[in-house]
């Protein structure tokens, strides 16, 4: 556990960032920087200091002990629509933040990378496997990893790049405002709870290594606590297809809502059909392993709808 530190979380009003910031604020002084493009300060507890600012700005509040850099344009579509802006935010914003924090004496950095670069994998993907860059989003995150290696080798900084697998939480958490950019489990659960058909690309057989937000937060904290450097997977090592997600949500909610299947708008050549994490490196170096099972995680997602049903009776 990190305690009695001054901590900066960039992108800290977003889904993952706000969960991390609120958790860390229990025992630390936490500052959040966010430009509110994908986040909202409503996600933050009162004991978190919020600064509306872009990671491209000068004079960031980087006089801290630890930086968690989560700010990013975080989807394939965003980078196809705004490729130059995506590179600026994801790469230049990363370098700008690290540079300023380094000048202020910070030596511990944990940042968000992506598991998308593994492509479609039905077997657990280790960090050292060969990768191919197929999208602007992936290129921007690999740019981060390359600059992190430079900062580590040239300046001796601790730079931990975390490749998240499909992170989820329900709309009772911090993602409802993101709409189409929210995690699919939250979207599917909300649709089904309101009697609407969740929309699945293709035939719904694509699989994801769904990882609960609480496990991600714990992994991020451990990365900083252990001053890790290098690249680490955060995922469960188990995958489930979208059809199974819909089936299990229906079972938990006591509903029978059928999915709607549409043609995948993402080109097949770049669409990641399957993901699965090999988290053994993270486990060996910190003891981290996922604690929330898929079934338990889905129940937590559905709790808000089941509680509202009971209250209305």
Residues 141 and 217 in one domain: yes
Phi-psi region of 109 (alpha: psi -120 to 50; beta: other; left: phi over 0): beta
SS3 content of the chain, % helix, strand, coil (to 5): 40, 15, 40
pLDDT at 31: 98
pLDDT at 115: 95
CA distances from 256 to 125, 193, 277 (A): 35, 10, 31
Q: Which of 175, 157, 270 is nearest to 216 (CA)?
A: 175
Confidence of residue 266 (pLDDT cuts 50, 70, 90): confident
**Pair of tokens at residue 12:** 């800290």
Contact 245, 170 (CB under 8 A): no
How many domains, the chain? 2
pLDDT tens per residue, range 79-88 = 888 889 889 9
Host domain of residue 180: 170-207+238-276+292-312
Residues 68 and 138 in one domain: yes
Contact 274, 121 (CB under 8 A): yes
Residues 192 and 302 in one domain: yes
Residue 256 three-state SS: coil
Q: Per-residue pLDDT for 310 more than 50?
A: no
pLDDT (mean) for 47-71: 98
pLDDT at 174: 72
Which residue is listed with tokens 């059928």? 258
Residue 306 lies in a domain: yes
pLDDT tens per residue, range 175-209 = 776 677 789 999 999 999 999 999 999 999 999 99
Q: Per-residue pLDDT for 162 more than 60?
A: yes
Threshold 0.85, pTM exceeds? yes
pLDDT tens per residue, range 125-137 = 999 999 999 999 9
Residues 122 and 268 in one domain: no
Residues 137 and 109 in one domain: yes
Q: Per-residue pLDDT for 271 more than 80?
A: yes
DSSP code at position 65: S
Confidence of residue 308 (pLDDT cuts 50, 70, 90): low
Confidence of residue 163 (pLDDT cuts 50, 70, 90): very high
Residue 282 lies in a domain: no
Contact 181, 131 (CB under 8 A): no
DSSP code at position 129: S
What percentage of the chain carries pLDDT values higher than 70? 97
Residues 83 and 219 in one domain: yes
pLDDT (mean) for 220-234: 98
Confidence of residue 313 (pLDDT cuts 50, 70, 90): very low
pLDDT tens per residue, range 208-218 = 999 999 999 99
Q: Per-residue pLDDT for 113 more than 80?
A: yes
Output 167 or 181, whichever has higher pLDDT. Answer: 167
Residues 47 and 100 in one domain: yes
Contact 208, 183 (CB under 8 A): no
Residues 149 and 201 in one domain: no
Q: Per-residue pLDDT for 309 more than 60?
A: no
Rounded to the nearest integer, the mean pLDDT of the chain is 94
């Amino acid at each position: 556990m990190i305690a009695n530190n001054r901590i900066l979380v960039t992108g800290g009003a977003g889904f993952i960032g706000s969960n991390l910031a609120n958790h860390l604020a229990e025992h630390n002084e936490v500052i959040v920087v966010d430009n509110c493009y994908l986040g909202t300060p409503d996600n933050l507890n009162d004991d978190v200091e919020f600064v509306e600012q872009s990671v491209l700005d000068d004079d960031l509040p980087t006089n801290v002990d630890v930086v968690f850099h989560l700010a990013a344009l975080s989807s394939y579509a965003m980078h196809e629509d705004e490729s130059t802006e995506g590179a600026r935010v994801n790469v230049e914003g990363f370098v700008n933040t690290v540079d300023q924090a380094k000048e202020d004496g910070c030596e511990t950095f944990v940042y968000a990378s992506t598991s998308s670069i593994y492509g479609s994998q039905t077997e657990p993907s280790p960090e050292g496997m060969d990768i191919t860059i197929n999208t602007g989003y992936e290129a921007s995150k690999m740019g981060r990893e390359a600059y992190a290696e430079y900062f580590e080798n040239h300046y001796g900084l601790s730079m931990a790049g975390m490749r998240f697998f499909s992170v989820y939480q329900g709309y009772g958490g911090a993602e409802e405002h993101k709409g189409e950019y929210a995690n699919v489990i939250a979207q599917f659960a909300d649709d089904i709870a309101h009697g609407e058909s969740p929309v699945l690309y293709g035939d719904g057989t694509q699989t994801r290594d769904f990882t609960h937000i609480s496990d991600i937060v714990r992994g991020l904290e451990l990365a900083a606590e252990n001053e890790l450097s290098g690249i680490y997977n955060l995922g469960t090592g188990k995958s489930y297809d979208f059809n199974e997600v819909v089936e299990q949500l229906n079972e938990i909610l006591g509903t029978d809502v059928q999915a709607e299947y549409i043609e995948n708008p993402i080109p097949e050549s770049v669409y990641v059909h399957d993901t699965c994490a090999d988290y053994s490196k993270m486990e060996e170096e910190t003891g981290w392993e996922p604690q929330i099972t898929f079934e338990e995680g889905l129940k937590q997602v559905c709790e808000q709808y089941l509680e509202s049903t009971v209250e209305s009776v």
